[in-house]
Structure 1
Amino acid sequence: MLFSYTARYTRLNNGYMGQLVEWPEVVTEGIDLDDCRSLLRDALNEMILAYQALGQEIPLSNALIEQIPVEVTLVSQSA
């Protein structure tokens, strides 16, 4: 079966951190976005193998991702 997971990427000072929304334990860092994507896919595959070896149930994708717009005045824009 094919399942899809939602990846969240955060820019860091020295690269990117990637984490799965539905399975937060799957997390990694890469030097650029492409590297982080590749490492996150590897981490997901390794976590699936580990869960299967332990007989644990694999979290399935069931997240609903939605952006919520909000207007914010930045400190540098005030005064």
Structure 2
Amino acid sequence: MLQSYTAKYTRFRGGYMGQLVEWPEVVTEGADLDECRAMLRDALNEMLLAYRDLGKEIPPGNALLEQLSVELDRVGETT
């Protein structure tokens, strides 16, 4: 069975942090985006094995992401 998870990457001074939206416990870091992506896939595989060994329910994937825009200088103003 094929399951999809949504990866979120955050850049910081030392590289990237990767985390799964639907399964926040799956998180890792890499020096660059490609390394982080590979490490996140590995972390997902390891977490899947651990959950199966423990008999825990694997979180469902397929999150729907949507970006919301906000004008920061207008937050709190009344119209």
Name the TM-score class by shorter chain: 0.7 to 0.9
- TM-score, reference length from structure 2: 0.88
Give the ranges of 4+ consecutive aligned residues of structure 1 lying more than 6 Å apart after TM superposition.
Answer: none
Separation in 1, partners of 2:62, 2:4: 9
Between the aligned residues of both structures, percent identity stands at 73
Separation in 2, partners of 1:69, 1:44: 30
Give the CA RMSD over aligned residues: 0.9
Q: Are residues 1:24 and 2:24 paired?
A: yes
Which runs of 5 or more residues in structure 1 are unaligned? 74-79
Q: Are residues 1:71 and 2:50 paired?
A: no
Which runs of 5 or more residues in structure 2 are unaligned? 74-79
Can you list the C-alpha shifts for 1:17-69, whole angstroms capped at 9, x where unaligned? 00000000000000000000000000000000000000111001142210011
Equivalent AA in structure 1 for residue 65 of structure 2: I
Partner residue, 2:13: 13
- TM-score, reference length from structure 1: 0.88
The alignment covers a number of residue pairs equal to: 73
